Structure 1
Amino acid sequence: MTTENTQSDMAKMFGDFAPKLVSLTDDVLFGDVWEREGLSPRDRSLATITGLIAAGNIDQLNWHIPYGIQNGLTETEIKEAIIHLAFYAGWPKAVSAMAVAKRIFDNQP
Structure 2
Amino acid sequence: MAQEPSAAQKSIGDVAPKLADLTDEVLFGDVWEREGLSPRDRSLVTVTALIALYRSEQLGFHLKLALDNGLSEEELSEAITHLAFYAGWPNAMGAAGQLKAILADTE
- The TM tier, using the shorter chain, reads over 0.9
Give the 3-state SS of the residue equivalent to 1:31 in structure 2.
Answer: coil
**Paired residue type of 1:9:** A
* 1:67 alignment partner in structure 2: 65
Residue 12 of structure 1: how far off its partner (Å): 0.8
* 1:34 alignment partner in structure 2: 32
Go from structure 1 to structure 2 and tell me whether the alpha carbon gap of 1:4 and 1:42 turns closer, same or farther (over 3 Å shift). farther
Q: Distance in 2 between matches of 1:50 and 1:31?
A: 21
Tell me, yes or no, if structure 1 residue 10 matches structure 2 residue 8: yes
* 2:94 alignment partner in structure 1: 96
Pick from 74, 77, 80 the counterpart of residue 79 of structure 1. Answer: 77
TM-score, structure 1 as length reference: 0.93
TM-score, structure 2 as length reference: 0.95
Q: Distance in 1 between matches of 2:81 and 2:7?
A: 29
Q: Distance in 2 between matches of 1:43 and 1:81?
A: 12
Question: Which has more helix, going by share of residues?
Answer: 2
Q: RMSD over aligned Cα, in angstroms?
A: 1.3
Residue 23 of structure 1: how far off its partner (Å): 1.1
Q: Distance in 2 between matches of 1:62 and 1:54?
A: 14
Structure 2 gaps of 5+ residues are none
**Paired residue type of 1:102:** K
Identity percentage of aligned residues = 55
Q: Distance in 2 between matches of 1:66 and 1:78?
A: 11
* 1:56 alignment partner in structure 2: 54
Count of equivalent residues:
107
